[in-house]
């Protein structure tokens, strides 16, 4: 069995007609990262600290940041305004999944505050005061994303249906729309979208003995325009064609370039993939020649992709980026072995957590790094730059139907 460390489904029954089934809970990765031999960081700044691992991180173009840390229901969301850090979530409410846009608006998930039931809602915080609940009391919601038009998408079980769907919230009307209501076969989760309304998500079905998850794309306007269930399939685009469940949606930029993570059965590792509709239009494995498991890819508007890769022996990890000229190591001036998760903004600032776990806690660091090496394809040098760990592999769990 293989363990999926980045499963973005959130523990809901998901197949219509299969209400008794449940998706695997999201397994949060312990940060695992190492400093490189030499540093090419222009500058680094510690903006926060946590005694526990960081489970989510986001950075806008002004350098303002949010992250989540803490154990279980005590997980909290923190906000950095460039000067100071403050908590913006609720006490004992499992605050998670924070995202910040360029307007400084933060969205996150937390237990519903209006009752004592552990039902998860989506909250919006606009820079002051108390975060507002923006999801329906009839829904169970998680994994929000916000763009620079203040539009929001998130995953939900609409109306207590027991089915995972993708929901869009319009900032003008305040209304929410179930974009995947006419998908009578699949379960939809982990939506991401860009400032042009192009949305991607994970769609899981039980068409084979183990089930499968694939990456789907469409536009919000297209999805909202569907009124006949028979038109649903013709209005979505299936980006991947995998026959197992091990795919994690990650992001899309305004030019439509998509990134995701998928398990490579032949190589026995997790890889970062991209699809650029303005380039080859093909699915490209960015980490095929990098040993170890790669996770958490983030993409900028100029097409730069960053991610972290775990060493094969599990002792540490390193951050890489790719701007279409081969994957390059990011050198960072940190003394720790565990650094993740990560984020990047359109100015090239990287935000990451760094520490040795219980012995140090975790610093939250903003850095302005340079790639290690020239911007030309150097596949052989990538192998040389990797740590020599030869054993170990994160196992993935194929969720059973």
pTM: 0.83
| Cα–Cα distance list, 369 to 12, 49, 75, 254 (Å) | 40, 20, 30, 24
Question: 44-385 has which fold?
Answer: Neuraminidase (2.120.10)
Measured CA to CA in angstroms, residue 225 lies from 98, 216, 235 at distances of 29, 17, 10
Query: What residue ranges of the chain have pLDDT lower than 70?
Result: 1-41, 116-117, 312-315, 334-337, 371-401
The span from the CA of 387 to the CA of 271, in Å, is 17
Widest distance between CA atoms in the chain: 59
In the sheet that 96-100 helps form, which strands lie side by side, from edge to edge? 96-100, 106-111, 120-125, 132-133
Strands 44-50 and 140-146, how do they pair?
unpaired
Three-state SS string across the chain, please? CCCCCCCCCCCCCCECCECCCCCCCCCCCCCCCCCCCCCCCCCEEEEEEECCCEEEEEECCCCCEEEEECCHHHCEEEEECCCCEEECCCCCCCCEEEEECCCCCEEEEEECCCCCCCCEEEEEECCCCCCEECCCCCCEEEEEEECCCCCEEEEEEHHHCCCEEEEEECCCCCCEEECCCCCCCCEEEEEEECCCCEEEEEEEECCCCCCEEEEEEEEHHHHHCCCCHHHCHHHCEECCCCCCCCEEEEEECCCCCEEEEEEECCCCEEEEEEECCCCCCCEEECCCCCCCEEEEEEECCCCCEEEEEECCCCCCEEEEEECCCCEEEECCCCCCCEEEEEEECCCCCEEEEEEEECCCEEEEEEECCCEECCCCCCHHHHHHHCCCCCCCCCCCCCCCC
User: Which tokens belong to 268?
Assistant: 């026995």
How far is the C-alpha of 118 from the C-alpha of 360, rounded, in Å? 32
Report pLDDT for 190: 97
The confidence score (pLDDT) of residue 72 equals 86
Residue 393 is predicted with a pLDDT of: 27
What's the CA gap between 94 and 234, in Å, rounded? 38
- How many whole angstroms separate alpha carbon 92 and alpha carbon 352? 25
pLDDT in tens, 328-340: 888 777 666 677 8
Nearest 5°: CA angle at 345, between 339 and 350? 25
Q: Is the dihedral of CA 331, 337, 145, 284 positive or negative?
A: positive
Task: State residue 373's pLDDT score.
Answer: 47
Q: 184 phi and psi, to 5 degrees?
A: -90, 0
Distance (Å, whole) CA 261 – CA 293? 10
């Amino acid at each position: 069995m293989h363990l999926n460390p980045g499963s973005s489904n959130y523990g809901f029954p998901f197949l219509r007609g299969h209400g008794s089934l449940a998706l695997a809970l999201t397994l949060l990765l312990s940060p695992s990262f190492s400093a490189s031999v030499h540093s090419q960081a222009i500058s680094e700044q510690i903006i926060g600290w946590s005694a526990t691992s960081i489970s989510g991180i986001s950075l806008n173009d002004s350098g303002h940041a949010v992250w989540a840390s803490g154990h279980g229901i005590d997980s909290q969301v923190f906000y950095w305004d460039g000067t100071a850090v403050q908590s913006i979530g609720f006490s004992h409410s499992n605050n998670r999944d924070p995202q910040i846009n360029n307007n400084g608006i933060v969205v996150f998930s937390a237990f519903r505050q209006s009752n004592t039931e552990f039902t998860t809602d989506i909250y919006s915080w606009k820079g002051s005061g108390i975060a507002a609940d923006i999801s329906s009391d009839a829904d169970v919601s998680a994994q929000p994303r916000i763009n620079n038009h203040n539009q929001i998408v998130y995953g939900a079980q609409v109306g207590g249906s027991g089915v995972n769907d993708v929901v869009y919230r319009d900032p003008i009307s305040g209304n929410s729309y179930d974009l995947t209501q006419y998908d009578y076969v699949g379960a939809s989760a982990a939506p991401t979208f860009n400032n042009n309304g192009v949305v991607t998500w994970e769609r899981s079905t039980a068409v084979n003995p183990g089930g499968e998850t694939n990456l789907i794309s469409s536009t919000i306007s297209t999805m909202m325009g569907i009124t006949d269930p028979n038109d649903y399939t013709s209005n979505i685009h299936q980006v991947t064609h995998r026959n197992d469940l091990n795919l994690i949606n990650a992001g899309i930029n305004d030019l439509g370039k998509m990134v995701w993570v998928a398990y490579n059965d032949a190589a026995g590792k997790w890889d970062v993939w991209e699809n650029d509709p303005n380039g080859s239009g093909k699915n490209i494995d960015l980490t095929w020649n990098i040993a170890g498991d790669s996770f958490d890819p983030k993409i900028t508007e100029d097409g730069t992709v960053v991610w972290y890769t775990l060493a094969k022996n599990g002792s540490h990890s390193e951050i890489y980026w790719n701007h279409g000229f081969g994957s390059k190591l990011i050198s960072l001036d940190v003394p720790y072995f565990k650094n993740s998760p990560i984020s990047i903004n359109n100015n090239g600032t990287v935000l990451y957590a760094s520490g040795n776990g219980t012995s140090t806690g975790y610093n939250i660091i903003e850095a302005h790094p340079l790639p290690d090496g020239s911007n030309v394809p150097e596949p052989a040098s990538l192998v040389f730059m990797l740590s020599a760990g030869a054993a170990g592999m994160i196992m993935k769990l194929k969720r059973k139907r």
